[in-house]
Amino acid sequence: MSTAKPTAEDYKEGQLLLIDKPLEWTSFQVVNKIRWLIRREHKIKKIKVGHAGTLDPLATGLLILCTGKFTKRIENLQGQIKEYTGTLQLGATTPSYDLETTVDRTFPTDHLTEDRIRAATTQFIGAIDQYPPVFSAIKKEGKRLYEFARAGEAVEIKARTISIEEFEITAIRGLQVDFRVVCSKGTYIRSLAHDFGKALSTGAHLTALRRTRIGTYRIEDAMSLDFFENEYL
């Protein structure tokens, strides 16, 4: 990104903004905040702003925002490979596969070894079928899946073919496992954590997630919302 401050016309013609999404913010809230700040600063009545791939509220990291005419690039950006780092907890599952919901089942972990944990990653490399979490924003019959889940309604979810290029265990601290994943569009890291626990016969859920790359765009080049508002805008 250029260090020069964009003008109102620049935002209309199109800007690509790399934002480090804060914890507990939805991607939609970030988009609304950026749009509001641009309109306020430049006294623009209307400006298009969209994101190129959502992040869960409990995830942080790289969110690409496009303004004005650059919103036409969103579909292409969404299709690029993504990299994540995170932490999963072995020995227990949650309905949402992360910390949005509380633990519903616990499992024995005495059989686990570091070698077994590291070896389990290999079965997820390449093209695999993955079931999205029921606590997700995917639409079915005009409703979001999480609406069915929160209402306690059973719903059939179809598997999707996704691709995992790299799945690396970076640290093991008891039942806390740090990892790095490089994957295709449409991959749910929460589902990967859940399936990883199944593979180890011990259950697992995601406790932290950070998106570090989308295509050639990296988190190191992203700015916080505070920096955007007070320094960049």
Per-residue three-class SS string for the chain: CCCCCCCHHHHHHCCEEEEEECCCCCHHHHHHHHHHHHHHHHCCCCCCEEECCCCCCCEEEEEEEEEHHHHHHHHHHHCCCEEEEEEEEECEECCCCCCCCCCCEECCCCCCCHHHHHHHHHHHCEEEEECCCCCCCCEECCEEHHHHHHCCCCCCCCCEEEEEEEEEEEEEECCEEEEEEEECCCCCHHHHHHHHHHHCCCCEEEEEEEEEEECCEEHHHCECHHHHHHHHC
Distance of alpha carbon 136 from alpha carbon 12, whole angstroms? 32
**Annotation marks residue 195 as catalytic:** no
Catalytic residue among 10, 20, 56, 110: 56
Point out the residues that are catalytic: 56
